[in-house]
Structure formats: structure tokens, C-alpha cells
A and B are shown apart, each in its own frame.
Chain A
């Protein structure tokens, strides 16, 4: 659905993007990770027909973003990292304006807007002025705006930045719903664990270069050969930690108060064997799962390795 070939963007002497090759399948959720200035927003802007690349090509839905921008714009819903709203409009008027900007017939708009407001949990704010909405609500309204023309691809640049934890959770739930709707989503975030739950693939980018790309698990294994496991026990947490530390495939155990975070070097079969071992040692295990919230480790490991 999204493909870039040797995509490069230079701002004067600064290399914002260098030979980026990317391939995202239809219906996939792709997480883009990288520090500020890594080239995430530049890539997203090129894919949204807002920026000319210095060289290379980018395709969305098979259309070249440079030669067929109208077709690409119809396929893409773009939400920038910072965006404003029209203060003197009500939420329904705001969405109606963008529906008009995609030439959606007037007769279809009321039903469509009502559905979108329901999707983003803003039905109770349909008559509220956009200005009066909280940041989280504005972000959700922005997401509804992205969906107004039913795009196949969503490009979301740091959609959760500046949101409080509750708003982040609400946003994540909406994104999960969109994933269920088979939308192809490209999302960037600084809050790395946020991506883990919803992403099929992640790409780590730094200084304009893609350092690594793959599923979260693959990336963890590729970099360190380590899986991060979450182990919750009913009682005797310290004894459980000691037993785990003695296991040859366990590299490290961190006590996180309500659970143990275990760095484990082994396959899925080895994980099953570890659980069996804990139960044999009569450890009262109530939860044993792979922790998807290890993106920070993955990211740090990849960028550290590149740095060294």
C-alpha cells in the first residue's frame, strides 16, 4: 500500500532523509520510531503530497505521490503532529467543511458526520464550538477529520503527543478499532510502548536512515536475542525473582513492584519450559506473558549499536 524507493530529502546541507526504502502492506499498522529530527515527519509529509523529495520515489496505493497527488490525497488521511482548528466553527460544521473539501455530497454528510463523531466518542459534543474542546478531544476530532473521506491509508504523526494518560488510552482504543476496520496505518510516536500494542511492524529511523524494520518481537531478537517477559506471582515475589535469576536463559530480572520483568534469551518453546520450571518450583504464577512494552529497549539498543 505504501512504498518508497531511495527516498531522499535534503534541506540545504542537512540530510533529513537518506535512501529510505519502505514497504507497508495493505491493512498493516506501521510504527515509526525515532528521535526528533530523525526524518519521520519528513517521510509522512512526502507521502501526504505536502513536500517534494530531493530524489527517490514514493507510492501510495500504487500512485506516485508526485505525479498523481489527487489520487493519493483521496487515499490518504493525514494528521500532522501539530495542527490547529477553526475556532469559530462547531464540531459538526468543522467536519462538514472537510467533507465539502473532499466533494462529498451534502445529502450524505449528516449521517457520515454522526457516525464519525460516534467513532471518536464525541457525539455529545456535536454542537460544541471546536475552541471549547480539550486537547484530547481536538485530537480525536482531528482523527475524525482524517476519516471523513474514508481513506484507505492513515498517516498519523505523533497523534498522542501532549495528551494525558486517559486521552492516550482513548486514542489507542480508536486506533485499535481502525485496525479492525483494515485501515493501513502509519503512525509515529515518542511514547514507544504505545505503538507496541497496535503495531504489526515498526521501523526505527535516525538521522534520516532506517536502522531497522520488522515486527516488535523480531526486532528484539535481532538486536539482542532477548524477549522481555512479564511474570506476576500471587506471593513470594523475591523467591520467584531468585529462581528466575538462576535460570541459564535469563539475563536479567527487574522487580517492578507488581510484576517481574524478565530478559529472556530463548525461543517460544523455551518460554514454555521456563513457565513449567517455575510451576515445578511451586511459584504461584498468575500471569506469564511477553511484554510488548519493550520498544524503548529495542530503540535504544538499535541506536546505541549504530552510534558505536
Chain B
């Protein structure tokens, strides 16, 4: 089958449509949207209120922290929602006893995984898109360049893609949605907090041994894989300048986790294939 035909089939894949239809018919979806906007809006507006209530003079450009905090909050929500939403994509089909039927259709395991991922990620993307009006409050205060805004949104896309792929992989690997969700959150925690703790110990250990961490490539690369650090380097020139790396840490983060996401997607497709073993071609007999 040609790549064009594969692309045409992927475009006509019915899984996205079914997933959107099913998701938006659930009352739970409305609650997720409401809670997402309420939490993110309340925290942001509350923070703004506390920061500004004692200020008598408004200086444009000095309030870029609002944008960073608001974006950080979005990142936390993405890390919280993306694995959870995709962790039931395949195991849910298995639990509903619909997976075997789906696998007997002409949809390939890769197209099933791809469309499941797209539908999960599209919903999270939709949540971020919904929060754009809240960003308008932050933009009022200025201090952020369009390039920083674009970079932050690209960073969100990469995180959505990675955490979604992680959840999907767990969902394909584990039989039960409960187990896959817990595993996906545990790995997310390890990536966020685990790498942070390791960096902390590494830094203290290095300080005792008088190691120059600013010129230690392995440490610089490892630090770049922490989402919080990578996120902060988008805004903080000082953090970027401290490193000996030629490229921005957030770019290393983006490249590494995009590659891991692709591995997770292909790994999921491999695990989903019920006939995963080498194939011998030209094996047709006359009926």
C-alpha cells in the first residue's frame, strides 16, 4: 500500500469521530472543562489580586511573572490531565470487550494508536485553547515577547504529546485502566519530581567534591530533561547563559521527549498487534 493511500486511510479513520462524539456526550467532559477553567482562572486572578492590591503605580513590563505563573499552572494541569486522559484509551477498549472486534477491522494497530492519541490530545489542546481568554488578562500587563508566547505554546504541545503518549503506552501495556493510570502518573511524577530530586543530590554531591557542574556536559543534559527547569529556561536568560550547551535547554528537552514519544507510539502499536512476529510473504494457496 502506498504512503498516499495510508495517509488517505488515516484521514478517513473513524476513531477520531467516534471518540469526540463519545467524549462530548459524557457529562464528565463538561465537568472537566468547568473545573479546568475554574482552577486555572481562580488561581491566576487570585494571585493577580494579591500582587496588585498594594500597588499604586502600574509599570508595564514588570509583571511578566504573571505570565510565567499562569503558564506554569497550565503545564501542571497538562501533566495532570494528559496521562489520565490517554491511560484508558486502549485498556478501556479491552475492558469494554471492544478491542478484539476493532482489531479484526482494516484499521492497523498504528492507525488505532495514532487516532486514539490524536483524540486524547485534541481534547487537552482544546482545554488549553479554551483558556486563551484568561491569557488576555495576563497580556494586559505586558512584559512578554511574542516569541516567548509562541515558545511556551510549542512547549505545551510537546508536553501534551509526550504525556499523552506515555499514558497511551501504559494503556496498551497494562490490562487494566486503573493500573495503567497509576503507572502513567507514577512515571510522570518520576520525570518531574524524581529528576528534580536527583539534580538536587547531584548538585550537593558535586559541591562537596568541588566539581564544576557548569562545565559538566552530562549534568547539563540531565538537568535539561527536567520539565520545570526546561520551562524556566524559556523565560530566564540567566539560566540559559549559565549552561555550556550550545542550544537552549528547552530545545534539548523538546527533542528528547519528542523522540521518546515516537518510541512510545511505535512501541504501543507493536504491543497492540496480535500477530507480532516475522511474516513470510507469498504464502497463498488456491482455495
Binding site for B on A (CB under 8 A): 1, 3, 26, 45, 48-52, 59, 61-70, 73-74, 76, 78, 80, 82-86, 88-89, 93, 96-103, 145, 149
Contact = CB atoms under 8 A, between A and B. Distances in A.
Contacts of A99: 14
Interface of B: 9, 12-15, 17-18, 21-22, 25-26, 96-98, 100-107, 274-277, 279-287
A70 to B, nearest CB: 7
Nearest to B107: A101
B157 to A, nearest CB: 27
B287 A86 contact: no
A73 B106 contact: yes
Contact of B105 (A64, A83, A89, A101): A101
B200 to A, nearest CB: 46
Contact of A67 (B25, B274, B283, B286): B283
17 contacts: A26-B287, A48-B104, A49-B103, A50-B274, A59-B285, A62-B286, A62-B287, A64-B284, A66-B277, A73-B105, A74-B106, A78-B100, A80-B100, A84-B96, A88-B25, A89-B21, A98-B101
B9 A78 contact: no
Given A50-B274, A80-B100, A86-B98, A98 B25 contact: no
B9 A1 contact: no
Contact of A86 (B12, B22, B105): B22
B25 A61 contact: no
- Classify the secondary structure of A's interface with B: loop
B21 A52 contact: no
Given A49-B275, A66-B275, A73 B104 contact: yes
A97 B98 contact: no
Contacts of A89: 18, 21-22
Contacts of B275: 49, 52, 65-66, 69
B177 to A, nearest CB: 14
A176 to B, nearest CB: 24
B274 A49 contact: yes
A286 B35 CA distance: 75
B100 A83 contact: yes
Nearest to A151: B104
A83 B286 contact: no
Contacts, number: 103
B280 A76 contact: no
Contacts of A85: 96, 98
Given A52-B274, A84-B98, A103-B12, A76 B279 contact: no
Contacts of B103: 49-50
Nearest to B96: A84
A80 B283 contact: no
A165 to B, nearest CB: 25
Contacts of A93: 18, 21
Contacts of A49: 103-104, 274-275
Nearest to B9: A103
A93 B24 CA distance: 15
Contact of A103 (B96, B101, B106, B277): B106
Contacts of B100: 45, 50, 78, 80, 83
B114 to A, nearest CB: 14
Nearest to A155: B104
Contacts of B15: 101
B21 A88 contact: yes
B268 to A, nearest CB: 18
A98 B182 CA distance: 31
Contacts of B14: 96-101
Nearest to A62: B287
A83 B25 contact: no
Contacts of A80: 97, 100-101
A98 B279 contact: no
Contacts of B276: 52
A100 B101 contact: no
B284 A62 contact: yes
B274 to A, nearest CB: 5
Contacts of B12: 100, 103
Given A45-B100, A84-B97, 16 more contacts: A49-B274, A50-B100, A59-B287, A62-B286, A66-B275, A67-B282, A73-B104, A76-B104, A83-B100, A83-B101, A85-B98, A86-B18, A88-B25, A89-B21, A101-B102, A103-B12
A229 B22 CA distance: 54
A89 B23 CA distance: 11
Contact of A68 (B9, B22, B105, B283): B283
B274 A102 contact: no
Contacts of B285: 3, 59, 62, 64
A145 to B, nearest CB: 7
B105, B282, B284 — most chain A CB neighbours (10 Å) = B105
Nearest to A50: B274
Contacts of A103: 9, 12, 106
A74 B98 CA distance: 18
A67 B279 contact: yes
